[in-house]
Structure 1
Amino acid sequence: MRFVLASASPARLTVLRNAGVEPVVRVSGVDEDAVAAALPDPEPAELVTALAVAKAEAVAGDERDAVVVGCDSMLLTPDGDVEGKPGTVEVARERWRRMAGRSGTLLTGHAVLRVVDGRIAERAAGHEATVVRFGTPSEAELEAYLASGEPLGVAGAFTLDGRGGWFVDGIDGDPSSVIGISLPLTRRLLRQVDVAMSDIW
């Protein structure tokens, strides 16, 4: 079965490949700010799930017979803020200084669409929440990490599977979700659209 990943994330692609799936990668190009603006005061989990659905739907229209998976991640801080990709060194630095030595919840929204004969026949969506316990990098370590560019394009300004992993003291929950796509949740959503793992391995 054709498995389409509606994401440009190399981390999500690696997780799927390591788990026995070779997806077709199609980037959605969804305007995330427009999707968020269309939601009246959404809860954080609702927001990441809506973004995942929007990305999957944007790609599904060009498919004939496939399973399309969309994902989106954001960090919920102890102060109640929801943070996506920082984009700049300055924003990433401020976020790390605020989160060092504290815990946040990484929320990853998932959407699975079953496309049959060019139309969306079935859909399932949900989210995964994983607590991330951040370490405290020294100033030199933080500046070197920022200079690498890695934290600028990822939710919460950190990675678990890259250089950021040095500064994560632990997690409570699903590690694959923190990397970008929860394998257990995706498996459950696939079942809801009548697709078994044996169909896509």
Structure 2
Amino acid sequence: MTTPLVLASASPARLATLRAAGIEPTVIVSGVDESQLTDLPPAELALQLAELKCAAVAGHADVPAGALVVGCDSVLELDGEALGKPHDPDEAVRRWRAMRGRAAVLHSGHCLREVASGRVAAATGSTVVHFADVTDEEIDAYVATGEPLHVAGAFTIDSLGGAFVTRIEGDHHNVVGLSLPLLRDLVLELGHAWPDLWT
């Protein structure tokens, strides 16, 4: 019997990652105000936001009985600073000018809750991302697409921004926003089998 999984995220990339792994989650967006957490180290910020999102959705009336709820949040760490989604195109351009030709660390917090028992398993995955030395013209063109405005760190690895990532150290799924190996570890920690999530 399939264990239902609820994804507490509006991210199309996280949904696509789960579907490609054979899991068809129910999507319930948390609506958590991310600005309520400040002054935390980047990895801790990602984890605490994931925990907030998971908790917000776990109590939702639409969550199926026996479900596992997964909340995720990603931030990019550059020079010790946590970078989420840029607020406007000018900020996205400034970020890319700071990131180009350099490496940064993408932290994705994961929180998994077993609704029936209330038990929780949580961890942060971290992946080093190396950026190409892109030109001002490339940055302007990329920001003009609108893509960097909707994602943590102002880049994607699985869409238009993929050409500007020269290499990564760690799990590439983590850069998309949901680490499948890490999620599997959390599923096992709560006493479930990974294949039971397959649909």
Q: TM-score, normalised by structure 1?
A: 0.93
Q: Distance in 2 between matches of 1:138 and 1:43?
A: 30
Deviation per residue, 1:24-71 (Å, 9 max, x gap) = 11100001111x14xxx4322111101001001100002332100000
Aligned to 1:121: 118
Q: Which residue of 2 aligns with 1:158?
A: 155
CA distance in 2, matches of 1:121, 1:11: 27
Q: After superposition, give the CA deviation of every residue in 1:120-142 in whole Å (9 maximum; x if it has no partner).
A: 43110000010000002222221
The corresponding residue for 2:89 is 89
**3-state SS of paired residue (1:187):** helix
Q: Alpha-carbon deviations, 1:8-32, whole Å to 9, x = none?
A: 0000000000011011111000011
SS in 1 for 2:118: strand
Which residue number in structure 2 is paired with residue 74 of structure 1?
Answer: 75
Q: Which segment drifts farther, 130-139 or 9-18?
A: 130-139
Percent identity of paired positions between Structure 1 and Structure 2: 51
Partner of 1:175: 172
Q: What is the root-mean-square deviation of aligned Cα atoms in Å?
A: 1.0
What is aligned with 1:58?
56
> Counterpart of 1:20 in 2: which secondary structure?
coil
Are residue 22 (structure 1) and residue 24 (structure 2) matched? yes
Runs of 4+ more than 6 Å apart = none
| Aligned residue-pair number | 193
Question: What SS does the aligned partner of 1:121 have?
Answer: coil
The equivalent of 2:143 in structure 1 is: 146
Tell me, in whole angstroms, the C-alpha distance in 1 between the residues paired with 2:156 and 2:123: 22
- Residue in 1 aligned with 2:134? 137
Kindly provide the CA deviation profile for residues 126-163 of structure 1, in whole angstroms up to 9, marking residues without a partner as x.
00010000002222221111110000010110000011
Q: How far is 1:180 from its partner?
A: 0.7
Confirm or deny that 1:6 pairs with 2:8. yes
Taking the aligned partners of 1:157 and 1:125, their CA distance within structure 2 comes to: 25
- Unaligned segments of structure 1, at least 5 residues: none
The aligned residue for residue 199 of structure 1 is 196
Q: CA deviation at 1:185?
A: 0.4
Unaligned runs of at least 5 residues, structure 2: none
